[in-house]
Structure 1
Amino acid sequence: MKKQELIHLHGLLSEVRNKLNQKNSSPIDIPAYETQDTRPTSIHHSKEDHRKAVLTLCDGITTNLMEEKTEFIVSHAD
Protein backbone atom coordinates (compact mmCIF):
# COMPACT_ATOMS: atom_id res chain seq x y z
CA MET A 1 0.00 0.00 0.00
CA LYS A 2 1.29 3.45 -0.85
CA LYS A 3 1.93 6.07 1.82
CA GLN A 4 -0.83 8.30 0.45
CA GLU A 5 -3.31 5.41 0.69
CA LEU A 6 -2.26 4.71 4.29
CA ILE A 7 -2.75 8.35 5.22
CA HIS A 8 -6.20 8.28 3.63
CA LEU A 9 -7.11 5.06 5.49
CA HIS A 10 -5.75 6.57 8.69
CA GLY A 11 -8.06 9.55 8.24
CA LEU A 12 -11.07 7.34 7.53
CA LEU A 13 -10.45 5.23 10.64
CA SER A 14 -10.08 8.37 12.69
CA GLU A 15 -13.49 9.52 11.42
CA VAL A 16 -15.02 6.14 12.28
CA ARG A 17 -13.68 6.49 15.80
CA ASN A 18 -15.07 10.04 16.06
CA LYS A 19 -18.52 8.91 14.88
CA LEU A 20 -18.53 6.01 17.34
CA ASN A 21 -17.52 8.38 20.13
CA GLN A 22 -20.47 10.65 19.25
CA LYS A 23 -22.86 7.69 19.13
CA ASN A 24 -21.73 5.97 22.34
CA SER A 25 -21.98 7.37 25.83
CA SER A 26 -18.43 6.28 26.65
CA PRO A 27 -15.63 7.25 24.26
CA ILE A 28 -13.43 4.65 22.64
CA ASP A 29 -10.22 4.61 24.65
CA ILE A 30 -7.17 3.47 22.68
CA PRO A 31 -4.13 4.23 24.86
CA ALA A 32 -1.68 2.69 22.38
CA TYR A 33 -2.91 5.10 19.70
CA GLU A 34 -2.93 8.10 22.03
CA THR A 35 0.74 7.58 22.90
CA GLN A 36 1.73 7.65 19.23
CA ASP A 37 2.38 11.08 17.79
CA THR A 38 1.24 10.15 14.27
CA ARG A 39 -2.16 11.51 13.28
CA PRO A 40 -3.86 11.54 9.87
CA THR A 41 -2.63 15.09 9.34
CA SER A 42 0.99 14.10 10.05
CA ILE A 43 1.87 13.76 6.38
CA HIS A 44 5.58 14.23 7.08
CA HIS A 45 5.68 11.04 9.20
CA SER A 46 6.91 7.85 7.61
CA LYS A 47 4.81 5.24 5.87
CA GLU A 48 5.67 2.82 8.69
CA ASP A 49 4.39 5.30 11.31
CA HIS A 50 1.04 5.54 9.52
CA ARG A 51 0.88 1.76 9.10
CA LYS A 52 1.37 1.29 12.85
CA ALA A 53 -1.26 3.95 13.59
CA VAL A 54 -3.76 2.30 11.21
CA LEU A 55 -3.23 -1.12 12.78
CA THR A 56 -3.53 0.31 16.29
CA LEU A 57 -6.76 2.14 15.42
CA CYS A 58 -8.22 -0.97 13.76
CA ASP A 59 -7.40 -3.07 16.80
CA GLY A 60 -8.84 -0.53 19.23
CA ILE A 61 -12.04 0.02 17.28
CA THR A 62 -12.74 -3.67 16.73
CA THR A 63 -11.94 -4.52 20.35
CA ASN A 64 -14.36 -1.84 21.51
CA LEU A 65 -17.10 -3.03 19.18
CA MET A 66 -16.64 -6.63 20.33
CA GLU A 67 -16.93 -5.56 23.98
CA GLU A 68 -20.17 -3.65 23.50
CA LYS A 69 -23.07 -5.34 25.14
CA THR A 70 -25.85 -5.91 22.70
CA GLU A 71 -29.41 -6.38 23.79
CA PHE A 72 -31.21 -9.00 21.82
CA ILE A 73 -34.93 -8.55 21.33
CA VAL A 74 -36.75 -11.79 20.92
CA SER A 75 -39.77 -11.47 18.74
CA HIS A 76 -42.81 -13.58 19.44
CA ALA A 77 -45.44 -14.45 16.90
CA ASP A 78 -48.98 -14.06 18.13
Structure 2
Amino acid sequence: MRNTMTHRVTITLDAETFAFLNDVASSNRSAYVNQLLKQDRKNFLQAALRKANQEEAEDTNYQEKLQAWESTLSDGLAND
Protein backbone atom coordinates (compact mmCIF):
# COMPACT_ATOMS: atom_id res chain seq x y z
CA MET A 1 0.00 0.00 0.00
CA ARG A 2 1.39 3.36 -0.99
CA ASN A 3 1.32 6.22 1.47
CA THR A 4 -0.35 9.16 -0.25
CA MET A 5 -0.14 11.55 2.68
CA THR A 6 1.78 14.70 1.85
CA HIS A 7 3.45 17.27 4.06
CA ARG A 8 4.39 20.85 3.45
CA VAL A 9 7.85 22.07 4.36
CA THR A 10 9.63 25.37 4.12
CA ILE A 11 13.22 25.32 2.94
CA THR A 12 15.73 28.05 2.30
CA LEU A 13 17.79 28.02 -0.90
CA ASP A 14 20.44 30.40 -2.08
CA ALA A 15 19.67 32.38 -5.23
CA GLU A 16 21.77 30.20 -7.55
CA THR A 17 20.19 26.98 -6.30
CA PHE A 18 16.71 28.44 -6.51
CA ALA A 19 17.31 29.55 -10.10
CA PHE A 20 18.57 26.07 -10.97
CA LEU A 21 15.51 24.49 -9.35
CA ASN A 22 13.23 26.73 -11.37
CA ASP A 23 15.10 25.87 -14.58
CA VAL A 24 15.05 22.09 -14.15
CA ALA A 25 11.78 21.52 -12.32
CA SER A 26 9.48 23.29 -14.73
CA SER A 27 6.20 24.04 -12.99
CA ASN A 28 6.40 21.32 -10.32
CA ARG A 29 9.28 22.01 -7.95
CA SER A 30 7.75 19.79 -5.27
CA ALA A 31 7.70 16.74 -7.53
CA TYR A 32 11.30 17.40 -8.58
CA VAL A 33 12.57 17.75 -5.00
CA ASN A 34 10.52 14.74 -3.93
CA GLN A 35 12.07 12.61 -6.70
CA LEU A 36 15.58 13.76 -5.76
CA LEU A 37 14.99 12.81 -2.13
CA LYS A 38 13.54 9.42 -3.08
CA GLN A 39 16.62 8.68 -5.19
CA ASP A 40 18.93 9.83 -2.40
CA ARG A 41 17.08 7.59 0.06
CA LYS A 42 17.45 4.65 -2.34
CA ASN A 43 21.19 5.39 -2.68
CA PHE A 44 21.53 5.61 1.12
CA LEU A 45 19.79 2.27 1.64
CA GLN A 46 21.88 0.58 -1.06
CA ALA A 47 25.08 1.89 0.55
CA ALA A 48 23.94 0.64 3.96
CA LEU A 49 23.19 -2.77 2.48
CA ARG A 50 26.59 -2.93 0.79
CA LYS A 51 28.27 -1.99 4.07
CA ALA A 52 26.32 -4.65 5.99
CA ASN A 53 27.19 -7.27 3.36
CA GLN A 54 30.86 -6.31 3.52
CA GLU A 55 30.85 -6.51 7.33
CA GLU A 56 29.15 -9.90 7.12
CA ALA A 57 31.69 -11.17 4.62
CA GLU A 58 34.55 -10.06 6.89
CA ASP A 59 33.05 -11.65 10.03
CA THR A 60 34.89 -14.98 10.23
CA ASN A 61 32.81 -16.18 13.19
CA TYR A 62 29.61 -15.62 11.22
CA GLN A 63 31.09 -17.28 8.12
CA GLU A 64 31.99 -20.37 10.14
CA LYS A 65 28.43 -20.61 11.49
CA LEU A 66 27.05 -20.09 8.00
CA GLN A 67 29.18 -22.94 6.66
CA ALA A 68 27.82 -25.23 9.38
CA TRP A 69 24.24 -24.41 8.40
CA GLU A 70 24.95 -24.73 4.68
CA SER A 71 25.98 -28.33 5.25
CA THR A 72 22.32 -29.06 6.09
CA LEU A 73 21.19 -28.06 2.61
CA SER A 74 21.73 -31.57 1.34
CA ASP A 75 19.73 -33.25 4.11
CA GLY A 76 17.74 -35.43 1.72
CA LEU A 77 14.66 -33.23 1.44
CA ALA A 78 13.21 -32.67 -2.01
CA ASN A 79 13.83 -29.27 -3.55
CA ASP A 80 10.41 -28.66 -5.13
TM-score range, shorter chain: 0.3 to 0.5
Q: Which fold has the larger relative contact order, with Cα–Cα distance below 8 Å and residues 6 or more apart in sequence?
A: 1
Task: Give the structure with the higher percent helix.
Answer: 2
Q: Provide TM-score, normalisation by structure 2.
A: 0.34
Q: Provide TM-score, normalisation by structure 1.
A: 0.35
